[in-house]
Structure 1
Amino acid sequence: MKQPIKYQYALDEENHIIDISMINKEHRIHSNYHCPSCGRELIAKLGEKKQKHFAHKFDTEGFPCNNETYLHQLAKIKIKEKFDKSESFFIKLREKVICSSVENCEFATNKHLCIKERDKLVNLKKYYNLCSIEKSIKDFRADLLLENTITGIKPILIEIFVTHPCTQDKINSKLPIIEIPIQSEEDIQIIENKTELCGQTYNFPIKNIYEPMEINYIIQKYVLFSSGKYSYIPTHQISCKNIETPQFEHTLLDISVYDGKLEKTEFFYYAISLGYNLKNCSICQHYNFKGICKKSREINTPIQPNPSYAYFCNYYKTNELFHRIYKHATSKIRIKIIKNDTKSFNNIDFNFLYSQKIGNILNTCISQLEQCYYKKSLRLQVGSISHNLSCYYNSCERFKINKFAYGLKFYHSMQPKKTPLFLYCIKEGFFNIKKKSNTKNIYLKIEDEQSLKEFTSYTGITIYPCGQSIFHNIEERKHERPSKEQTNQKKEKEEPCCIKELPSKNTLYLEDLFKNESKTSLTNKNKEEVLDYIEKEFKARNIFIEKHQESPVSLRPLYNECKREDIKRGNISLKIFNTSNELTPIFIQPCLNNESPLKNIPTIVLRIDSQGMWKEWSHKNCLLIKEGKNGEFYNIINLNEIVPDETLNSF
């Protein structure tokens, strides 16, 4: 047996809708109620345990009564009551507001940009005075029909959508229709309590409203300069009242894109379509999507060329396929030309401008190398050891082969037989490296002012063989491991500071060029000299120590005395201490790279070499010993507890 249908509403004896919440036991005794759907008798269930409701007095099985019909009938009655009893009967519509300046505005090519929508409440009681249930109009029957019995204005159909939406024929009739969705009794209560009806509307002729408005636009800005460079501002916001766009000096082509976006290559193709003799490697048919020139394997062109290289390349050709594609793409967006000067652009000698730019870059790089040499900070890398050129050559001359190749010649003025070394800065693709020559050359491929950054560190410039540098007639010698007998028979010899004579063979080995450096033997005499220097520095000025990833710490405020000590035979060091014995002393111990220091005492190990690289670290014009390649710290744990340098204003 089916469960009886429970309703919140019923019709009373006068066919008025009544809510179960308004019924008490006395009303139930003296009143009769019937179903809005099937018309059969309903009884009011007013129990305390269950929710109050109306239910059919007799079993509805076999009678045409269901919840959908009930909701449909109830909604019609409730909406009619609302119309009849209320002074207002609002419907929410959407109206279009168009800018009143649309005819004169430069943004109005696509008028949808100057249009916005907003809600509009219309009081139907101003236009209609009669609401009828189930009334026919033309060939259709309306759930509710709003009419004006005086003016004869076109009626409005109100359709209740419970399970079946409005038919397409009814929509195509051009009759104004309001379709209200109803799924439950709660939806009907919302209609009762809400100010306006909410639903889908059809065939409502809403007039467009013209009002002054200010709409913000996002535009893209593209500029081509007289230098051949271009600039792109991806998102610049302007408005109807302020259409100012950024202006640049020395521009020959200035465009703004309003309704879309151009890629860089599309901008180039657009400029070409305007008559600009523009060339750029990115739109060449030999340029791939990875930014690599496909001709670089066949001929001497840069692998990843500067875009302006196209003005010099004999193989440059515009990619016509992409040109047609991008030309079609630019036709679909709106472009406003702010400035257009093709004549001035096409009269520019880009060959001269580009060669001048490259010459300035090469000259800058050569100047940096020359300055490093005179500052004794220009080195060549030999395996894991770097060698300072100023230790082997006392003279340097700069020269220019052509506008794409600058060089430095290193030689020893007092030793004319010493083989000179040539260091070139070249622009790849414009200079042929002479690999058949017998000279000792190093070629650095320079792309821009930052090209030397790969070789630059805090100690200067160190050049080593890599993709950016080519070593010609200079090779690293591969050694065979000597036998024990050969090792025992080998005599230790101290080499002079500079090479007396280079090998006469064509290939100059790096180890031959710098063999005095690798074979120089540092004795205790050298250590004594290092300790003398450190002792003078400590007494005359100050010494700073810096642990890894920590701030420099000043030793002078903590310690007031130092003296030489030979703790263990061969391990000479400088003891730095406080005469009041308040602090544990520390020992600065100079050691060779292959020498093991004493580690069981608070020790700062200073790795020394013949070049004196350990002196290059400084802080506030005082010696700085850093933990790392040239310094090691042992049993100095609480370095952070020592007064940091930042807090000592007197040093």
Structure 2
Amino acid sequence: MIKYSWAKYNDKPIHISDVTLEMRKNGSFLNIITNEKMTAYLEGKFKPHFHHLNKTNFSNETYLHEVAKEVFKEAYLNSIENKIPFYLEYPINAECDKHFKQTKIICELGRKTETYDLTQTFDKLKVEKGFDEFVPDIQLLSTKKPTEIIFIEIEVTHKSTQKKLNSGNKIIEIKIENDLDIINLKNNILSFNKVNTQFYNFKLTTITKDFCSQTKKGCRESRKVFVLNKNGSYEFLDYYLESILGEIYSNNDNIKFVDYDLERFYQKGKSESENQIEYLNRKGIQIRECELCRYVGYSRKKINKKDVRLSLFCKFKKESTESESAINCEYFRTKKH
């Protein structure tokens, strides 16, 4: 025999844990399925429950299915009437355009979870009403977009038919196994991340917006960026884009040219310096720098048994040098690759 945890009170579903002694004394409880009178047992040797006066019983499957529909319906209608969000959590392909205006870069962030208030679109519902050849448990309907419909299906022992799943209609199937699953329907959220909730015929969409400003850490995208200064010196920067932009902004008066997307020039199998030289050649940028010279070397020293590079060394002049010395060096010769 089922010890019922749910009943109707003032025409709304109520869980036995929410019933007070005052409500039991002055109120009337009805069976959610048959509207027959029920009594609330709150004390004694048995676990609190509702009891039929005429001992009507149902299968556990029927009970869970009907109560879940009623609880979901009431939770959703309450959200609409009181302007309380009822959220849908769903996966998207995320693209961040925070720095697009300055860099023309849109960063691909991969799969993320987006949250949407269903009541902003779906402001009506129907329970067990026909739609084409199907009778969904619940239909979420939209006044703004009449063609937009979501089926809410309660699965206790039987899943939706394959014909319904293949119909192309958006379906959210919620598996109900126990009383706790029904209580969770009152949390006002349907999520792809919940194991008891399956989504059918929802398309994975790409959303492009400023995602990084929504996080505490901000933009964490790493990029290879080329900066050419007005004095002929240059840098290949390779760290967080946000930090690079801050550095460029603070030094803007001295900068001649910036390229924010070196990845398209870089080839696998080549070293970093080889790729950088290839980049400069393709862009037609003539730069004289010791590290690009065929005579470049490095002075080294053993520190704690490790070979540490200390400074640049010119093999032709056989002396230490600074990278910028190549600008006016008569012995500068571009590396051969």
TM-score by length of 1: 0.32
Q: Does 2:241 match 1:238?
A: yes
Partner of 2:123: 128
Q: Does 2:62 match 1:69?
A: yes
Partner of 1:8: 5
* Superposed CA offset, 1:360-407 (max 9, x none): 69xxxxxxxxxxxxxxxxxxxxxxxxxxxxxxxxxxxxxxxxxxxxxx
Do the aligned residues in 2 keep the contact of 1:238 with 1:245 (CA within 8 Å)?
no
* Superposed CA offset, 1:225-261 (max 9, x none): xxxxxx997x5222285473999xxxxxx99755999
- Which protein is bigger by CA-based radius of gyration? 1
Q: What is the DSSP-based 3-state SS (H/G/I as helix, E as strand, rest coil) of the residue aligned with 1:142?
A: coil
Partner of 1:218: 222
Q: CA deviation at 1:41?
A: 8.5
Partner of 2:191: 199
What residue ranges of structure 2 are gaps of 5+ in the alignment? 193-198, 214-218, 228-234, 252-258, 298-312, 321-337
Q: What is the DSSP-based 3-state SS (H/G/I as helix, E as strand, rest coil) of the residue aligned with 1:178?
A: strand
For 2:172, give the aligned amino acid: I
Partner of 2:323: none
User: Matches of 1:267 and 1:238 in 2, distance apart?
Assistant: 19
- Change in CA separation of 1:16 and 1:255 when aligned onto 2, cut-off 3 Å: closer
Q: What is the DSSP-based 3-state SS (H/G/I as helix, E as strand, rest coil) of the residue aligned with 1:7?
A: coil
Query: Out of 138, 154, 164, which is 1:160 matched to?
Result: 154
- Change in CA separation of 1:101 and 1:266 when aligned onto 2, cut-off 3 Å: closer
User: Matches of 1:221 and 1:30 in 2, distance apart?
Assistant: 72
Do the aligned residues in 2 keep the contact of 1:93 with 1:122 (CA within 8 Å)?
no
- Change in CA separation of 1:164 and 1:74 when aligned onto 2, cut-off 3 Å: same
* Superposed CA offset, 1:602-649 (max 9, x none): xxxxxxxxxxxxxxxxxxxxxxxxxxxxxxxxxxxxxxxxxxxxxxxx
- Change in CA separation of 1:199 and 1:244 when aligned onto 2, cut-off 3 Å: same
Q: CA deviation at 1:158?
A: 1.6
- Change in CA separation of 1:29 and 1:55 when aligned onto 2, cut-off 3 Å: same
For 1:99, give the aligned amino acid: D
User: Matches of 1:232 and 1:218 in 2, distance apart?
Assistant: 13
User: Matches of 1:157 and 1:349 in 2, distance apart?
Assistant: 72
Do the aligned residues in 1 keep the contact of 2:223 with 2:240 (CA within 8 Å)?
yes
For 1:217, give the aligned amino acid: E
User: Matches of 2:111 and 2:266 in 1, distance apart?
Assistant: 21
For 2:129, give the aligned amino acid: K
User: Matches of 1:52 and 1:127 in 2, distance apart?
Assistant: 36
User: Matches of 1:350 and 1:207 in 2, distance apart?
Assistant: 48
User: Matches of 1:186 and 1:42 in 2, distance apart?
Assistant: 21
- Change in CA separation of 1:138 and 1:257 when aligned onto 2, cut-off 3 Å: same
For 1:218, give the aligned amino acid: S
- Change in CA separation of 1:185 and 1:197 when aligned onto 2, cut-off 3 Å: same
User: Matches of 1:31 and 1:115 in 2, distance apart?
Assistant: 50
Q: What is the DSSP-based 3-state SS (H/G/I as helix, E as strand, rest coil) of the residue aligned with 1:50?
A: coil
* Superposed CA offset, 1:408-467 (max 9, x none): xxxxxxxxxxxxxxxxxxxxxxxxxxxxxxxxxxxxxxxxxxxxxxxxxxxxxxxxxxxx
For 2:182, give the aligned amino acid: I
What residue ranges of structure 1 are gaps of 5+ in the alignment? 224-230, 248-253, 277-335, 362-651
Q: CA deviation at 1:143?
A: 1.1
Partner of 1:139: 133
Do the aligned residues in 1 keep the contact of 2:103 with 2:260 (CA within 8 Å)?
no
Partner of 1:460: none
- Change in CA separation of 1:274 and 1:10 when aligned onto 2, cut-off 3 Å: closer
* Superposed CA offset, 1:85-131 (max 9, x none): 533362334576752774873433xx52599764332425x6433x2
For 2:222, give the aligned amino acid: I
Q: CA deviation at 1:74?
A: 0.7
Partner of 1:594: none
Do the aligned residues in 1 keep the contact of 2:172 with 2:200 (CA within 8 Å)?
yes
Do the aligned residues in 1 keep the contact of 2:265 with 2:279 (CA within 8 Å)?
no
For 2:103, give the aligned amino acid: C
- Change in CA separation of 1:342 and 1:50 when aligned onto 2, cut-off 3 Å: same
User: Matches of 2:239 and 2:284 in 1, distance apart?
Assistant: 15
- Change in CA separation of 1:105 and 1:116 when aligned onto 2, cut-off 3 Å: farther
Do the aligned residues in 2 keep the contact of 1:101 with 1:212 (CA within 8 Å)?
no
Q: CA deviation at 1:70?
A: 2.1
Do the aligned residues in 1 keep the contact of 2:32 with 2:66 (CA within 8 Å)?
no
RMSD: 5.6
Q: CA deviation at 1:148?
A: 5.0
TM-score by length of 2: 0.54
- Change in CA separation of 1:267 and 1:213 when aligned onto 2, cut-off 3 Å: closer
Query: Out of 72, 87, 90, which is 1:79 matched to?
Result: 72
With a CA cutoff of 8 Å and minimum separation of 6, indicate the structure with the bigger relative contact order: 2
User: Matches of 1:70 and 1:153 in 2, distance apart?
Assistant: 32
User: Matches of 2:112 and 2:22 in 1, distance apart?
Assistant: 57
Do the aligned residues in 1 keep the contact of 2:223 with 2:239 (CA within 8 Å)?
yes
- Change in CA separation of 1:25 and 1:58 when aligned onto 2, cut-off 3 Å: farther
Partner of 2:44: 48
Query: Out of 315, 325, 336, which is 1:354 matched to?
Result: 315
Do the aligned residues in 1 keep the contact of 2:225 with 2:261 (CA within 8 Å)?
yes
Q: Percent identity of the aligned residues?
A: 22
User: Matches of 1:98 and 1:25 in 2, distance apart?
Assistant: 55
Q: Count how many residue pairs are aligned between Structure 1 and Structure 2.
A: 272
Do the aligned residues in 2 keep the contact of 1:145 with 1:157 (CA within 8 Å)?
yes
User: Matches of 2:265 and 2:160 in 1, distance apart?
Assistant: 40
